[in-house]
Amino acid sequence: MRLKSHVTVSALIRRAQAEGLFATVMHKGHGDAGVLYVKVLRGREARLFVQSYDGEWRERSDGFVSEETVNEIVDRERDFDRDLWLIEIEGERGAELLEAL
């Protein structure tokens, strides 16, 4: 069972901050059921993850790619679903946080 989106977002941001990473909400979606996307930044490169309906995190990019490529993917998804959330985490270790949620 998947938690409400706003609960997962809050937990993710607090966990990132506890690990010394900067995390912020770049796009706020539906509080209960918005799909969650997480962009993990490493310099000018990024990885993109999405939380599936079963609560599992799946990588949407092919490893670290240009941040522009990730932004294009998110823009396409946002055109389709305005209720999605986008959380941005600075630092490679951001992907490890998703495993703990």
What's the CATH number where 65 sits? 3.40.1530.20
From the list 71, 69, 81, the residue with the least C-alpha distance to 33 is 81
Better pLDDT: 50 or 54: 50
Q: pLDDT band at 65, cuts 50/70/90?
A: very high
Across residues 32-58, what is the average pLDDT? 93
Radius of gyration of the chain (CA): 12
Provide the residue range defining the domain that includes 73.
Answer: 5-100
Mean pLDDT of 74-87: 94
pLDDT above 90: residue 33? no
* pLDDT (mean) for 28-47: 93
Confidence of residue 1 (pLDDT cuts 50, 70, 90): low
CB contact at 8 A, 85 and 7 = no
Q: What is the pLDDT of residue 66?
A: 96
Number of domains in the chain: 1
